[in-house]
């Protein structure tokens, strides 16, 4: 069923942050930073994969994401919903179900045998494809998926994520220069505000996280060789 009503974006952001905190998908630790896929340290880590195990929250967030996509991009803007391997696959399937559209997924690299394909499922030349993922940091990892979609002759001008870091100013430019518009539900700033409101973490931890969010590159540079 396609959701046709939804809260305004600020309330969607607050509720999304609240749900992520409730299922303990949010982790803050400045004393012993997490190492991101980039190899850089961070006092923050988010695990959106946990959402698939919480059906009420999962369903609500997929309603939010579907409504956000249609509000921002249009109600008849897409012909195919593609998930990025692997975290984007379940969310793409759930969005595709709500929008009544075919679902495909994009491999990070060719599987190395058989057709050596990167696209699984039926994607056709001329289709307008929405790329769905769990999150984005600086937008760079989305470009390879977008290029693989475009190599089929389909177009891909939009990507939708549950969580957008919202702290690296180059992200939307990186995607925009590649002809891709980003849609998301909440950012680290929304999570920090809700964590403060709920008192989920101690004051010192929240202060350290806020310092990172205000200047993440400087925070990382000071610690990446420590």
pLDDT attached to residue 123: 97
CA distance 33 to 166: 19
pLDDT in tens, 153-201: 999 999 999 999 999 888 999 999 999 999 999 999 999 999 999 999 9
User: Can you tell me whether residue 220 is helix, strand or coil?
Assistant: helix
Tokens, residue 160: 């939708």
CA distance 53 to 154: 32
pLDDT in tens, 118-139: 999 999 999 999 999 999 988 8
* pTM metric for this prediction: 0.93
- The proportion of the chain whose per-residue pLDDT surpasses 70, expressed as a percent, equals 94
159-197 b/e (C-beta count within 10 Å ≥ 16 → b): bbbbbbbbbbeebbebbeebebebbbbbbbbbbbebbee
Band of pLDDT at residue 4, cut at 50, 70 and 90:
low
- DSSP character for 125? T
Say whether pLDDT at 84 is over 70.
yes
pLDDT attached to residue 177: 94
User: Can you tell me whether residue 38 is helix, strand or coil?
Assistant: coil
Mean pLDDT of 2-11: 81
Give the residues across from 82 on adjacent strands. 104, 131
CATH fit for domain 9-223, picks 3.40.50.2020, 3.40.50.12280, 3.20.20.80, 3.40.50.970: 3.40.50.2020
Domain ranges across the chain: 9-223
pLDDT in tens, 26-65: 999 988 999 887 788 899 999 999 999 999 999 999 999 9
Say whether pLDDT at 220 is over 90.
no
Say whether pLDDT at 1 is over 60.
no
């Amino acid at each position: 069923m396609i959701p046709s009503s939804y809260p305004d974006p600020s309330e969607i952001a607050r509720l999304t942050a609240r749900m992520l905190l409730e299922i303990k998908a949010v982790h803050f630790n400045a004393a012993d930073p997490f190492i991101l896929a980039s190899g850089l340290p961070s006092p923050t880590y988010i695990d959106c994969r946990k959402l698939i195990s919480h059906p009420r929250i999962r369903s609500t967030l997929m309603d939010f994401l579907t409504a956000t996509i249609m509000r921002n991009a249009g109600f008849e803007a897409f012909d195919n919903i593609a998930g990025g391997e692997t975290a984007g696959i379940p969310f793409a399937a759930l969005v595709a179900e709500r929008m009544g559209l075919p679902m495909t997924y994009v491999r990070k690299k060719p599987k190395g045998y058989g057709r050596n394909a990167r696209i699984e499922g039926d994607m056709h030349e001329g289709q307008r494809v929405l790329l769905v993922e769990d999150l984005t940091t600086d937008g760079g990892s989305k470009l390879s998926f977008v290029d693989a979609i475009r190599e089929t002759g389909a177009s891909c001008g939009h990507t939708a994520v549950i969580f957008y870091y919202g702290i690296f100013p180059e992200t939307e430019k990186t995607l925009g220069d590649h002809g891709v518009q980003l849609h998301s539900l909440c950012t680290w700033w929304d999570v920090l505000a809700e964590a403060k409101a709920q008192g989920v973490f101690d004051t010192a931890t929240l202060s350290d996280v806020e310092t990172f969010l205000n200047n993440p590159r400087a925070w990382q540079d000071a610690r990446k060789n420590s």
